[in-house]
Amino acid sequence: MAGIYFKFPFFRDTFLGASLVFLVSFFENNSLWFIPLVLIILASKFGVPVSPSTLGILSYSFIVSTMLLGGFVLILTRLISDFLYLKDSQRIYENYSGSIFLVTLLSFVIGITIFRAYQYKTLAIWLFVSFSVLRLVLLFVGSIEKTHLFVLPVLSAFLFLIMFFRTFGKTFEEKYLIIIITSVMNFLTFIANGIITRYLRSSTHPRFDFFRYARKYPELPLLAFFYYLSYWIDNIFMWFKKGVEVAPNIIVSPDYDFPFFIAGISFVPAIILFSLSIETSFLKKYLSFFSAIKNNKTLEQIETHLREIQLSIKYILLKTTSMVIIITILNISISRFLNKWFSEFSITVFRIGTVGHAFNVIFLSMLSIYLYFSYYREALIGVSISFSVNSISTIICGTTVPGLGFLLAFLSGSAFLLRKMNTKDLIFKIYSSQPHGLEKAERISWKP
């Protein structure tokens, strides 16, 4: 979706263009954790007290919201893609209205369950609902390629808070910081909703087509659920083994969570590189391939487009893997200098987490390609393997080798997806899946 900038001649092949595209793609993929993180850093910088309970509430809000919405986001992505193909913006907006209602209701109920014993229960629930709704509206903003309109309000909010914290920071209590963070997320949700309304709104009638899509593609919610469990299961285990209760029912393990998080965000450039490559060079070949099928091109022409797709996938994976290797080497190299801030246990977590996240990037890259070609069953098997390996390895290794379960999970998942990846039979699969595979095409015929 950030590939929209490549349509503008001024931005093409320039440093400014590349920088803007990178920035937009970063916001598109990382806003949900990046915005609260910057707010916490700014607060600490200007003397605002940041309590462990506040960090715990933020962590739980992010993690539970991600797991709650993971499957729903995949269903909505499929739904939005279909209606974009049909150029039916009204149905997209109607499902946007329906999804906002459903997510707000579910988030409120789950928030009450999680934060019922917290002293600022109402604020924590408000924060949790804000996380969920913001993630949803950002999905729709990205789907209409308007994420670039969201960047300036985010930067403006940061500048305002710098001045605000500089003036009033040291007088803050814990609840006021939660109010500030939640208010910023609500402000950005308001801006994003305005963008969606401006470019999509054509009806006030909510629809719930995503329920039909969930029945049609049951693998998608399961796939997302097991992926996020695969990612977080070792964290959850550590909370109960080496965790500290920072608020009622809110347990964290700082010695594990923080170095693991740092290792994870260090691979953001590799993920953005993959996303940009997929949304630009690969997508063009992908659309040409399906256009050739829809327009009844000869089998030879279709196979030519398929070979271009295969070469594009290999090049993108090679480029992404090279970036992953560079980041891994850098992380391992600097880990020897972290003993001023980290314990030996945390340094070990950082090193193993680095290798684990390297395989996670490769796994996510393969998973995205599988989803592009609707290989849902194979993708679900790969995610299930990762979840099983992480669960078993974490239980066996426990705190002895922290993070090993995460590493083995995505190593085994990546190996499975790489082994099963096969686009050679893609043409046969498309034709044999008629009338469902290309039901939106007007006429399909076989021309050998």
Total domains in the chain come to 2
The predicted structure's pLDDT at residue 424: 66
Write the DSSP symbol of residue 279: I
CA distances from 357 to 34, 259, 331 (A): 18, 12, 11
| Long-range Cβ contact pairs of 91-95 (< 8 A, separation 24 or more) | 91/207, 91/209, 92/140, 92/143, 92/200, 93/196, 93/197, 93/200, 93/201, 93/202, 93/203, 94/203, 94/205, 94/206, 94/207, 95/206, 95/207, 95/208, 95/209, 95/210
Question: In terms of domains, do 109 and 16 share one?
Answer: yes
Same structural domain for residues 172 and 51?
yes
- pLDDT at residue number 34: 85
Do residue 142 and residue 197 come from a single domain?
yes
Q: Both 255 and 396 in a single domain?
A: yes
What is the spatial distance between Cα 313 and Cα 394, in angstroms, rounded to a whole number?
33
Same domain, 29 and 121: yes
Asked whether residue 169 falls in the same domain as residue 285, the answer is no
Question: Do 141 and 34 share a structural domain?
Answer: yes
CA distance 193 to 210: 19
Residue 445 lies in a domain: no
42 shares its domain with 110: yes
The answer to whether residue 124 is domain-embedded is: yes
Mean pLDDT of successive 10-residue segments in the chain (448 residues)?
Answer: 41 57 70 84 83 88 86 89 83 90 92 88 91 89 79 86 80 81 90 87 82 91 91 88 84 89 91 84 81 79 84 90 95 87 88 94 92 87 94 83 90 91 66 48 37
Whether the upstream peptide bond of residue 52 has omega within 30° of 0, thus cis, is no
- Examine the domain organization and report whether 386 and 295 are in the same domain: yes
The encoded tokens of residue 263 equal 């290792």
Q: Does residue 222 lie in a domain region?
A: no
The torsion defined by the Cα of 269, 271, 277 and 282, in degrees rounded to 10, comes to: 170
**348 within domain boundaries:** yes
Residue 327 and residue 263 share a domain = yes
**231 lies in some domain:** no
Q: Is the domain of 340 the same as that of 389? A: yes
- Inside any domain, residue 230: no
Please provide the distance, in angstroms rounded to a whole number, between the alpha carbons at the two ends of the chain.
35
Q: Which domain holds residue 175?
A: 2-217
pTM: 0.85
Q: Tell me, what's the pLDDT at 3?
A: 39
Dihedral of CA 338/341/344/347: which sign?
Answer: negative
In a domain, 334, yes or no: yes
Asked if 211 and 303 sit in the same domain, the reply is no
| Residue 443 covered by a domain | no
Residue finishing a domain among 171, 198, 217:
217
Place of tokens 């500048």: 159
Quote the tokens at residue 397: 């290794």
Q: How many CB atoms lie within 10 A of CB 54?
A: 23
